Structure 1
Amino acid sequence: MRTDINSTLRTQLRTSAATTARTGEPDREVVAELRASGLLGIGVPVEYGGTGGTAADVNRVVEEIASVNASLAIIAFQHFAVCARITEWGTPEQRARLLPALADGTWLAASAWSEPGAGAAKRHLSSTGVRRHDGSWQLDGAKSFTTGAGLADLYLVLVRTGPAPTDSGGYGATGQTFFLVTADNPGIRPRLGLDLIGMRGSATGLVGLERCAVPDADRLGATDGAQQVIAQVRESGATLGAVSVGIAQAALDIAVCHANRHDLLTVPMFRHRLTELATHLESARALVDRAGARTAPNPGLTTLYSKLYASSAAEEICLDVARLLGSAGYQAGEGLTRLLADARGVALMGPTNDLCRELAAASWEH
């Protein structure tokens, strides 16, 4: 299994990023190349066909992909996240059945948690799972902002299976359950149609659930136990901050390329400003690395901080590069415009930055 992007795939990812930013459609050919690259098995245990990489390895791969194509990095990140949930919470049968296909790219995974009206914390779900007389489940409802909709072969779906929640804090709520639903299930209907500002090639769309029959063997974790699974997600150390670091690196690369082309590295002001931007970037990367290493006293809190800081840093770096290039950036600013839109998009992905702040602030109460 590969743990880095070869030059051919890097070129394809970069070309695809520019194209999908204009069309708003995912590039299925480059997704196929990503599947075949061997990268998608980085976080899967060796015994199931993966490379057994750590959260730090996952973050590095995500950052590298994001430095050329943030939309594909988000798709890969969601795949890694589902693989991690199956590894941590799946039954031995689920791991043996699902992880090998996810490791070699035969299957691509996506998360379907969000839905209209549920809020960023996913506490007020309308989609439901009802146990049937034979022990299986029927899922009904609609999920929104699902990255990889229509591309994924496996969806990790969050629905309400118990009474309406009585608690008001945290991420997720009581009475919720996760299910693993394959794309060939006739009751699941993914579709695109969301006209996004950033991450336009991420196939972020809607997933409908209509009389979607799922065997109990495809329930992930305990019935009504999704909140416990969600609480452990940030403890893994894998962070969307890695996407932001990749975006920021791409913006800085544009500035350095411009400086070399116009002999601006001889100008102290320009040279010093690039150094300041690089320092800001390295600070964000260091926090992402710290989250991935899971060496902090509170790894989950560090993961929240890494997303907050890195996403803000990426947006600021993109803006500063645009200012630094001046009219040149305005004339040839398609790449910067895309990077800035993608940087802003990370802040809105779950857990959103506002929710990250709330979850982090709650730690001060104990």
Structure 2
Amino acid sequence: MLRLLAERSSDSDLRGSPDPEVLTALRESDVVGLVVPKRFGGSGSDFLKLNRTIAQLAYYDPSIAIIAFQHLAVCARIVEWGTRWQQEKLLPELASGRWLAASAWSESGAGADKKNLSTSAEEHSDGRWSVSGGKAFTTGAGLADVYLVLAQSTDVRDAESSYGSYGQSFFLVPADNPGIRPDTGLDLVGMRSSATGFVQLHECELPGDALLGPRDEAGSIIAEVKRSGATLGAVSLGIAEAAWDLVHEFARNKGLLGHQAHRHRLVELRARIEAVRGVVERAGSRVSEHPGNTTLYSKIFAAETSEEVVQALSRMLGSTGYVSGNPINRMQRDARAVALMGPTNDLSRELVSTSWTV
């Protein structure tokens, strides 16, 4: 699969959509079942392995890495919070790649902290639910077979929380539900082939067992997400490594490694990449006193350092890097995109700083 990613990533970026053969290869790979327990057909791996795998994918194609990351994140939520029925029904499908999963949390007017959701879930007297609203920036929109949707299930807002509010619940919505309509027309600057777009939900009728976790307690699930150690910083790591290797090869071919200034600059940038690797691995291993904060630190540090490193590497290419077809330009755009993905770096700072006062 990695060879295919390397061959198709540039064309996918230009086209603005993932390559069908690459998606097939992802579905058929061991990646999709990485965090699913072995009894459900997965590998039962930990989040250190997840971070390393995502970094490896991002080295070749960050957009596919993001699709895989979101799929694995939903798998992990079902493992942690799903009922026995949900696990037995969904996890084998997700681990085999027959199904891909996507998270549909964000909304255009809700802000990064997801506090003012317009997507609502109404419970009927027979225990069924009806979910309506619109989701933005859903990675894997139109590709996923099941969406993890965040909705307001009780009209009570918690102004004091940093992320989300009381009265929100998670729902597992199959893509074949007649009330769900994905729109992949969003033309992104970075992560162009991640199928990131909008998802409209119009009176999606769902059974009671579509509810994931306790009603109105999505905040508890969100809190556990950061403590898991899975971090988008792994995507930043893969991008930075790919950029460094690209420029190192360029410098070698042009004879620039004979100049001390070029060698030392490459060493400096490589050292920063290794620092990113260290914090990403520390997050995945969950060995710190406060694993949730370490995961957020890794997102902040990895995203910002990667963006700075890739920009510095681009300058080392000189006019060669100013050609539109040079891969370094895609790497710069993709590196910037990670900082904007949820939780955004600014929200991550807020989540860490408010945890100090609790």
Asked if Structure 1 and Structure 2 have the same fold, meaning a TM-score greater than 0.5 normalized by the shorter chain, the answer is yes
Match of 2:283 in 1: 291
Paired residues for 1:47-196 under 5 Å: 47-196=39-188
> How far has the Cα of 1:262 moved from its partner?
1.4
Counterpart Cα distance in 2 of 1:269 and 1:333: 27
SS at match of 1:142: strand
Asked whether the equivalents of residues 240 and 309 of structure 2 are also in contact (C-alpha less than 8 Å), the reply is yes
Per-residue CA distance 1:172-197 (angstroms, 9 max, x = gap): 11000000011111111111111100
Per-residue CA distance 1:254-302 (angstroms, 9 max, x = gap): 1111022112222211111111111000000100000000000000000
Q: Which amino acid aligns with 1:152?
A: A
> How far has the Cα of 1:62 moved from its partner?
0.3
Quick check: 1:18 aligned with 2:18?
no
> How far has the Cα of 1:156 moved from its partner?
0.2
Counterpart Cα distance in 1 of 2:294 and 2:281: 10
Counterpart Cα distance in 2 of 1:261 and 1:11: 23
> How far has the Cα of 1:66 moved from its partner?
0.2
Asked whether the equivalents of residues 10 and 327 of structure 2 are also in contact (C-alpha less than 8 Å), the reply is yes
Q: Which amino acid aligns with 1:30?
A: V
SS at match of 2:356: helix
Counterpart Cα distance in 1 of 2:74 and 2:355: 26
The match for 2:35 among 33, 37, 43 is 43
The match for 2:262 among 270, 294, 304 is 270
Quick check: 1:326 aligned with 2:289?
no
TM-score normalised over the length of structure 2: 0.98
TM-score normalised over the length of structure 1: 0.96
> How far has the Cα of 1:332 moved from its partner?
6.7
Match of 1:338 in 2: 330
Quick check: 1:252 aligned with 2:241?
no
Per-residue CA distance 1:228-264 (angstroms, 9 max, x = gap): 1111100000000000000000100111110221122
Match of 1:218 in 2: 210
Counterpart Cα distance in 1 of 2:317 and 2:31: 35
Structure 1: gaps spanning 5 or more residues: 1-8
Asked whether the equivalents of residues 321 and 329 of structure 2 are also in contact (C-alpha less than 8 Å), the reply is no
The match for 2:219 among 213, 218, 227 is 227
> How far has the Cα of 1:324 moved from its partner?
1.1
Which is worse superposed, 239-248 or 29-38? 29-38
| Segments of 4+ moved more than 4 angstroms | none
Asked whether the equivalents of residues 37 and 44 of structure 2 are also in contact (C-alpha less than 8 Å), the reply is yes
How many residues align? The count is 358
Asked whether the equivalents of residues 320 and 326 of structure 2 are also in contact (C-alpha less than 8 Å), the reply is no
> How far has the Cα of 1:328 moved from its partner?
2.2
> How far has the Cα of 1:338 moved from its partner?
0.4
Counterpart Cα distance in 2 of 1:50 and 1:105: 10
The match for 1:199 among 170, 191, 194 is 191
Match of 1:6 in 2: none
Match of 1:304 in 2: 296
Q: Which amino acid aligns with 2:75?
A: C
> How far has the Cα of 1:10 moved from its partner?
1.7
Counterpart Cα distance in 1 of 2:325 and 2:21: 26
- Percent identity at matched positions? 51
